[in-house]
Amino acid sequence: MVKILKFENTEVFNFDGAFRGMRNPMNSWDKSDSYMGYDNDDLPSFKIGKNDMELAQKLIKAGSDHSKFLRQIMVSVDITAPLYWWKEFDTYKIGTVANSTSTMHKLSTTPITRECFELNSPKCDVQEIFLQYLEGLRLKYLKTKDKTYWKELIEWLPEGWLQTRTVTLNYAVLRNMYFSRENHKLTEWSVNFIKWIESLSYSKELIKGE
């Protein structure tokens, strides 16, 4: 079974600023042919013209020093993923910012159930017993306020625990992540994350470079 990440509230912004700045080095703003149009839902949408796309792809092929404009195309998204995926995501520290839901403050506020985890295997007695054990620790902490129970709960929390983070990154970072992770053995990367990147505006031309 393919494990699935959840992507919500995706926003891509500052195409106009990035493409305006792209032409600053050669003072070639008069050659720009991009404009603000509308998508199928009648929402404002940046349309990249032929001249601007040709220059953008030329700069991308020239390397990261020349394609700095990609760093100015920003993306914001809410991602829900298990802790073992977030540990790998955290290797990308440059050009990314994330605010997460707090395990420290909120772990004990709601019941611990299967829905709190990335669990794709069928139910079994061992899993159910372990979940009951975790929920028991949570209830003991709420009843006694003894931090020993809370610390034990944190120590035993499985890697499959789902956490939501609001992440801000840019097209340059996503281009690096795309080619680093497209063949990863975790399907969370090679299927889910890659498909999400491919769904972004102009990802084929600017991130994949086709």
pLDDT digit string, tens, across residues 69-113: 999 999 999 999 999 999 999 999 888 999 998 675 668 888 999
Instruction: Look at residue 1 and tell me whether its pLDDT is greater than 80.
Output: no
Question: Given pLDDT bands bounded at 50, 70 and 90, which one contains residue 42?
Answer: confident
Section 122-139 average pLDDT: 90
> What pLDDT shows up at residue 106?
67
Structure tokens at 3: 């494990």
Domain boundaries of the chain, sorted by first residue:
6-97+162-206, 108-156
Question: pTM, whole model, 2 decimals?
Answer: 0.89
SS (H, E, C) the chain: CCCCCEEEEEEEECHHHHHHHHCCCCCCHHHCCCEEEECCCCCEEEECCHHHHHHHHHHHHHCCCCCHHHHHCEEEEEEEEEHHHHHHHCCCCCCCEEEECCHHHHCCCCCCCHHHECCCCCCCHHHHHHHHHHHHHHHHHHHHCCHHHHHHHHHHCCCCEEEEEEEEEEHHHHHHHHHHHCCCCCHHHHHHHHHHHHCCCCHHHHCCCC
Section 58-67 average pLDDT: 95
> How far, in Å, CA of 178 to CA of 195, rounded?
10
Percent of the chain with pLDDT over 70: 96
